[in-house]
Amino acid sequence: MNPVGRRALLAGLGAGAVGLALPGCAADVRRLRLAAGDDGGIYAAFGALLAPRLEARVDGLAVEVAVTAGSVDNLRRLADGDAEIGLALADSVGAGSGDPAEGVVALARTYENYLQLLVPADSPVRDVAGLRGRSVVLGAAGSGAAVSGGVLLEAAGLQTGGRGGGGRGAGVVDVRNAGLAASLASLDDGSVDAVLWSGGIPTPAIAGLDATRPLRMLDLGAWAEPMAEVSGYPYRARRAPDVAYAGTVTSTIGVPNLLLARANLADDLAGAVVETLARDAAALVPDSARGVQYLAPPSMIQTGSVPLHPGAVAAYRRLHG
């Protein structure tokens, strides 16, 4: 069975055990479904780099990378058994309860995402308070940006209880939800005033628009502490990377990404993921994020309140003693 045919057959199978035997094949074929993120974002780019390296490390493994709405959507897919592993912003795990999502464990801390609140360069909006009475896209419904953005607006007194986006809550900002491409198109044509994106800096799609329709990031660093008070998650201010569309902004807010797994993921697969991340770290950073984001093996075990998968723990012990 050729690889394309095998992938097509796997894609047509319903959710089931991670290890699957296919009649007529010389060896068992195992499926690993990775819930990634919005096309054009760092999650999708990371998934595309990780998949072939995992397949090369584990004989008979087929990795499927799914384009999704983002963190909250990925957590739902993990809970429902529609994915075995998935990426999520740390503040989205247990959003609304402060507790880790049930049945979800961590494999590693991977990248740092940056909150990027974008307006046209000629916009009169100079700070978060300037969004009062205006429209803002907080990423796709089900994305980590919708969670983080809702916390930001609530901390700024611009929305109450609207952390999931979609205009919920008694706010004074017109909150909308859309994927990155649609969000930027709306910003370009003036149908929205601002876009919040959580991802790498630079994000290629944002840099691409900035080249034809100059953009400006708003400084968010001062909101880390108020956001932490609202949500209970320890947000931290981060230096804003020096890219064109950041302009003179000096700080923003960083949120770590976690690579998560279903608790019943086979130990050997969990270990293979960890070993691939640790041994191939340099090759798993998308070109657009080199020198800005990080995948640092010593920090991979720093997953906060989310416990590590037993197979991941065993792999870290093999790697580091």
Please say if the pLDDT value at position 13 is more than 50. Answer: no
For 24, counting Cβ atoms within 10 Å of its Cβ (0-12 exposed, 13-18 middle, 19+ buried), the class is exposed
Q: How far apart are CA 300 and CA 308, in angstroms?
A: 10
Read off the pLDDT of each residue in 3-28 and give the average, rounded to a whole number: 38
Q: Which helix (H) or strand (E) holds 238?
A: strand 236-239
Q: Report the percent of the chain where pLDDT is more than 90.
A: 67
Is domain 114-255 given the CATH code 3.40.710.10 in the classification?
no
The per-residue pLDDT for 211 is 96
**Better-predicted residue by pLDDT, 172 or 58:** 58
pLDDT given for residue 204 in this prediction:
87
Domain ranges of the chain: 3-111+257-320, 114-255
Tokens representing residue 136 in the block: 């803002």
- What pTM does this model have? 0.82
CATH number given to 3-111+257-320: 3.40.190.10
Can 3-111+257-320 and 114-255 be said to share one CATH topology?
yes
